[in-house]
Copies of this chain bind each other. A is one copy, B any other.
Amino acid sequence: MKKILGSGILMCFIIPIFLYSQVSSMKDVSAKIRSQRQKNEHLILKEFVDFLSIPNVSADRENVRKNAEFIKKMMEKRGIKARVMETGGNPVVYGEVIVPDAEWTLGFYAHYDGQPVDPRKWTDSRPFEPVFRPGKMEAGTDFPKPIKAVPLPDNYMDDWRIYARGSSDDRAAVMALIAAFDALKNSGIPQKNNLKFIFEGEEEAGSTNLNSFLEKNKEILESDVLLVCDGPIYYSGDPTLFFGVRGITTLEITVYGPNTSVHSGHYGNWAPNPAIRLARLLASMKDKNGKVLVKGFYDTVVPLTEREKEALKAIPPFDTQIMELYGFSKPEREDLSLMESIQLPSLNINGIQSGWVGEQARTIVPSEAIASIDIRMVNDNDANDLTQKIIDHIKEQGYHVVEEEPDQNTRMTHPFIAKVLTSERGYKASRTSMDLPISECIIDTLEDFYGEDVVCIPSLGGSLPISFFNEILGAPTIGVPIANHDNNQHQPDENLCLGHLWQGIETFAALMLTSNK
């Protein structure tokens, strides 16, 4: 980010002197924290293994509560004032460090519950008995061989990985935050900011009680910024901040042919075929290069600021490697990089279905064809607005749009009928400006700490319920992911690279020291 700062004229004169002292002191701080963290690695890992041994599937309320108690104890041991707060569902574990004349009040959000597990699909069949592997497991193999985590081996390397549900998503962040506080404390570095830790217990179950919890406790939780410690780090492995997420809404389109599938010999090229109709309708929505053709689809996109554009440019490109990983040689939009493309709203087909294919194929004209679509939104995109624009587009293609299965009368009145089901669920997009003082301060602190640029992503492609924090707490949010990108999030064999845990601890410690002074 310093490159970016350096490009502002004003900055050229004022910042360098100021930066000098900060950089100098942060270098010292960084060394101290690293040394503390290294000294404690064994204890941290031991505690992390114990933590990961408690099952944490959101629906397993009894065990989830054991996680909450475990976290409370970990915090109390370090002198963090902690309590388990009821939400109606799984509890929030809240921890607080209040200092006199705090420069900032920093909120840290993470969640300690995990996705469901199917032990049969885990290579070790035991998602809650953590094991180490000296490297990334090769897909479909049991290699490199597991190494027991209890008792903890004497030696391990940064490229070892620990395999367990929640090892990355998102108990890694809980552990790293607590260890970061510990490292700071043990380094004797004075705490200049208030710290508020919010550890949710039902994020993987849709955060159903988070809204009301935030509403009820907004005074307690009040912060200058909320750091959302979740998600995978950028592909390069460099420390990463993200300032926004795309929102999401979904819709389903059904177009109709005959009211029952009919013989393709007797009626093929006479009875209207819903599959080709759907194909034509979908094809009309995007051009060959993936640009959405729905009128007004990009109208409410707030253009990236200069700073955001420069941040994007500064991100080390990994497109080639990702294409290699996923086996394709050109992206949908050739004019945009991955990071650029996810700064735009998307219209993406999740699935299409009509009749049967493969061994099940029948020589019929199917009766209907369905497409499931998701729309990812960027800030100021509104789900209802985009959905309506798509509906208008469908109408422009000659369709009569309905919300229910068409009856015979509707069928006989309208040659083209599309049922469009929209979704009540979904998340809003959100994006925090990189120009806010707290944003700048956080970027600077982290870059000074590491002595190099960190990856600053305007918006992640995925969606998180971050807008709750903005709307209820009024706090800007910035994301701080720490897990390796190939952590098998939500899947069997979830894992965390030890090097990323160590880096995460240092990143969080640095952020706790966020300061302009």
A residues whose Cβ falls under 8 Å from a Cβ of B: 246, 248, 250, 252, 256-260, 262-273, 275-276, 278-283, 285-286, 288, 290, 323-324, 326-333, 336, 338, 341-342, 344, 346-358, 360-366, 369-372, 374, 376, 408, 411-415, 460-463
Contact = CB atoms under 8 A, between A and B. Distances in A.
Contact of A348 (B264, B329, B349): B264
Contacts of A360: 351
A370 B358 contact: yes
Most B Cβ at <10 Å: residue of A262, A327, A414: A327
A442 to B, nearest CB: 23
B272 A328 contact: yes
A374 to B, nearest CB: 5
B361 A372 contact: yes
11 contacts: A264-B348, A264-B350, A267-B338, A268-B346, A269-B346, A283-B283, A330-B415, A349-B355, A350-B361, A356-B372, A358-B372
B411 A329 contact: yes
Most B Cβ at <10 Å: residue of A275, A415, A463: A275
A250 to B, nearest CB: 7
A333 B269 contact: yes
B280 A288 contact: yes
A48 to B, nearest CB: 26
Given A270-B342, A329-B412, A348-B365, 17 more contacts: A248-B265, A259-B327, A264-B376, A265-B463, A266-B461, A267-B461, A268-B346, A269-B347, A276-B285, A279-B279, A279-B280, A349-B355, A350-B361, A350-B366, A353-B356, A356-B372, A363-B374
B263 A462 contact: yes
A326 B271 contact: yes
A349 B255 CA distance: 14
A367 to B, nearest CB: 9
A246 B267 contact: no
A324 B412 CA distance: 7
This protein's copies in its complex: 2
B356 A350 contact: yes
Contacts of A268: 342, 346, 348, 374, 376, 461
A275 B361 contact: no
A275 B352 contact: yes
Nearest to A427: B265
Nearest to A416: B330
A266 B331 CA distance: 13
Contact of A266 (B278, B286, B342): B342
A336 to B, nearest CB: 7
A430 to B, nearest CB: 14
A136 B270 CA distance: 26
A414 B330 CA distance: 8
Contacts of A328: 256-259, 271-272, 411-412, 415
A327 B408 contact: yes
A349 B275 contact: yes
Contact of A414 (B267, B329, B348, B413): B329
A268 B461 CA distance: 8
Contacts of A408: 327
A332 B270 contact: yes
A355 B351 contact: yes
B271 A327 contact: no
A350 B346 contact: no
B364 A350 contact: yes
Contacts of A278: 279, 352
A258 B326 contact: yes
A501 to B, nearest CB: 22
A231 to B, nearest CB: 10
Contact of A269 (B248, B258, B348): B348
A228 to B, nearest CB: 15
A266 B462 contact: yes
